[in-house]
Amino acid sequence: MADIRLSQVEKRYPNGAHAVRGVCVDIADGEFVVLLGPSGCGKSTLLRMVAGLEEITEGEVAIGGALVNDVSPADRDIAMVFQNYALYPHMSVFKNMAYGLINRRFPKEEVRAKVEAAADMLQLRDYLDRRPHQLSGGQRQRVAMGRAIVREPKAFLFDEPLSNLDAKLRVHMRVEIKQLQRRLGITALYVTHDQVEAMTLADRLIVMNGGVAEQIGTPLEVYERPASAFVATFIGSPAMAMLRGRVDGGALRLDGQPAGLPSGALKAPDGPVTVGVRPEDLRLAEDGWIAGRIELVEHLGADQVLHAALDGQGERLIARFAGAESLPADGPVRLAADPAKLHLFCPESGRRLAA
């Protein structure tokens, strides 16, 4: 058990790809941190640098207070669970779990006791003599977990460990991983591009984009105060609507029309802004300041989802309403949102404006 500290970590691959750019984060002892981001944003690269499988081009990685930049993976005392599980195909389940312990010269009885304890915890007791190819996907996943926990490492590293499982098993294993990590109190760094997985597992989220950590915070912070337009649209489903507007003396204008918000409602400097509104923060209003045409209404039982094309902007937005109030299937529509629920971003940098 230990904390993990990354300072100004950079990764440039030999072919010139700049995969990770200046990532700084302190992961506390026992914390569960999830790395989230679109494909190719450098999540795996960052995780693999912590594991020692990838060289650190610049910056420092410390585990438990000790700098590990030049420490070999086996000496970092971390365990990793791979997307394809990476079990040793020629070894039994028992040997798979025992291999790391045997190499660390644990006495035989202790190895057996530890492996059996882990097998009990993961309901693998009946499969210890089998080979990986004789197991189902979920069982293989559990063996991979078992291989990680028997060593009682300082930290767990997960690279999309659930993405090869079907939806139901994924939910089940997600809960199991979280409970296991809580019970063992081991620091965890978990890579995923599944938002739900990220939101439910994380104590803290790192949202990455193009090698940069765009935002680091609790899932709720990230959802409620996204630090950039990228984070705002990436987190939340359906995605947040983004409108082009201007702030003029604290009042918002869309397409030159005043948005009808009380002046001084927005604490942003004058100039162009991107206005973000979550689908659930929009409501229908006769005199609403967002005008558009309905393109499609989806009835999801508990919710209805409205897709609209905005007048004058060429943008689309999605609004979500609870309940079953009857919506017209097409025609013009006017929507409004509480000024406190608006997210303002700088159109150039995409950074959040103080609001």
Partner 1 sequence: MKRAQFGHSPIPYLFVGPQLAIIVVFFLWPAGQAVYQSFLLQDAFGLSTRFVWFRNYEDTILNTVWLESAGFTLLFSALVSFFSIAVALLLAVRANEVIHAANAYKTLLIWAYAVAPPVAGLIGGLMFNPFIGDLYHLFNAAGWDFNHTRDGFDASFMVILIAVWKQVSINFIFFLAGLQGIPASVQEAARLDCRSDERRFWTITFPLLAPTSFFLLVINVTYAFFETFGIIDVTTRGGPGGATNTLVYKVYTDGFLGADLGGSSAQSVILLLMVLGLTVLQFRFIERKVHY
Q: Measuring CA to CA, how many Å separate 1 from each of 76, 174, 258?
A: 12, 21, 56
| Least distance to partner 1, CB of residue 157, Å | 9
Query: If binding is defined by CB under 6 A, does position 111 make contact with ligand ATP?
Result: no
Among 2, 33, 41, 229, binds ligand ATP (CB under 6 A): 41
Q: Which does 80 bind (CB under 5 to 8 A by kind): Mg ion, ligand ATP, partner 1, none?
A: partner 1
DSSP for 335-354, written as a single string: EEE-GGG-EEE-TTT-BBP-
> Which option in partner 1, ligand ATP, Mg ion, none does residue 168 bind, with CB closer than 5 to 8 A by kind?
none
Burial of 122 (0-12, 13-18, 19+ CB in 10 A): buried
Q: How is 247-302 classified by DSSP, letter by letter?
A: EETTEEEETTEE--PPTT-----SEEEEEEE-GGGEEE-TT-SEEEEEEEEEE-SS
* CB-based contacts of 59, cutoff 8 Å, min separation 6: 6, 7, 8, 9, 10, 22, 23
Exactly one of 39, 72, 103, 326 binds ligand ATP (CB under 6 A); that residue is 39
User: Taking CB under 6 A as the rule, does residue 193 contact ligand ATP?
Assistant: yes
Least Cβ distance, residue 57 to ligand ATP (angstroms): 12
What's the rounded Cα separation, in Å, for the pair 89 and 85?
11
Which of ligand ATP, partner 1, Mg ion, none lies near 88, with the C-beta cut-off 5 to 8 A by kind? partner 1
Asked if 44 touches Mg ion (CB under 5 A), the answer is yes
Chain contacts with partner 1 (rule: CB under 8 A): 14, 51-53, 72-75, 78-80, 82-84, 86-90, 99-100, 103, 131, 147
Question: For residues 53 and 102, which CB has a smaller minimum distance to ligand ATP in the complex?
Answer: 53
Q: Does 209 bind ligand ATP (CB under 6 A)?
A: no
In degrees rounded to 5, what are phi and psi of residue 128?
-60, -25
Determine if 19 is a binding residue for ligand ATP (CB under 6 A): yes
Residue identified by tokens 């609001």 is 355
Smallest separation (angstroms) from partner 1 to the CB of 24: 25
**C-beta of residue 73 within 8 angstroms of C-beta of residue 153:** no
Q: How far is the CB of 11 from partner 1 (least distance, A)?
A: 16
Quick check: 12 binds ligand ATP (CB under 6 A)? no
Closest CA to 346 of 208, 229, 176: 229
Q: Interface residues with ligand ATP (CB under 6 A)?
A: 13, 15, 17, 19, 37, 39-45, 193
Q: Interface residues with Mg ion (CB under 5 A)?
A: 44
